[in-house]
Amino acid sequence: MGRLWDKWMGTRHADGSTKAIPTQELRAALLALNGTGVPFGIREAGTGEADLLAEWRFREPAWGSGATRRQVERTLKVWMRLCPGEREVRAMDEQWEVTRAGSPPGRTVARTHGRGPIRGIQKEWALEKGPNGRRRKVETFSFDSRDLKDPLRNTVPPRGCPRTSEWRTVLTGPGEPLPRRGGPAR
């Protein structure tokens, strides 16, 4: 059950060939992702509960017309704590959704918040006339949660925390803080 749980949670264990680097170098490598064309930003968290925060804000295409027009704004956050004692990065995913109505969208009609592993792919297409005069599908919107999480995960295991590295996604309930340094990971 442990490996299945790890796969569902997104935990990645390092192999034995990972070289050790200091925690500050790992922090610098994660912060360096900011200028590499990724759709999110990483910054210092500024709280005692996490070290770094990766945040991605985007709007889905609006649908409907007039007063019934709706548009969803999403904010995906990955709170990261670097734990050199346990040689792991603990991550907690958080998602906020705000649905706005009207034209232009301004009135808030729904808000949702969730914590736990964020997984999702959403694509939308429109039919357009191609250069040869035939209709073709053109992608108008694309969202894939792997665009946020894969660069973060791929930065951690190859670089490593002291001795080995591990990316561990943790679950917490509403209002509960990210587990403290040295505390249980799950």
Residue 177 CA to residue 69 CA, distance in Å, equals 36
Instruction: Give me the residue label for tokens 């004692």.
Output: 85
Distance of CA 52 to the CA centre of its chain: 12
Q: Read off the pLDDT band of 159 (50, 70, 90).
A: very low
pLDDT greater than 70 at residue 2: no
pLDDT at 132: 92
Residue 179 has pLDDT above 80, yes or no: no
Distances from the Cα of 97 to the Cα of 31, 73, 115, angstroms = 25, 6, 12
- pTM, to two decimals: 0.71
Strand partners, 124: 141
CA contacts within 13 A on the Cβ side of 158: 8
The domains of the chain are located at: 2-169
Q: What is the mean pLDDT of residues 146-161?
A: 72
* CA–CA dist 71, 56 (Å, integer): 17
Residues 79-93: tens digit of each pLDDT: 988 887 777 788 888
Residue 105, pLDDT score? 77
Provide the percentage of residues in the chain whose pLDDT is more than 90.
15
- What pLDDT was estimated at residue 86? 73
- More confident position, 180 or 19: 19
Q: What pLDDT is stored for residue 116 in this prediction?
A: 80
* Long-range contact pairs involving 36-40 (C-beta distance under 8 Å, separation at least 24): 36/151, 38/147, 38/148, 38/151, 39/147, 39/148, 40/76, 40/147, 40/148
pLDDT score at 150: 84
Radius of gyration for the alpha carbons in the chain, expressed in angstroms and rounded: 20
Report d(CA 56, CA 75) in Å as an integer. Answer: 6
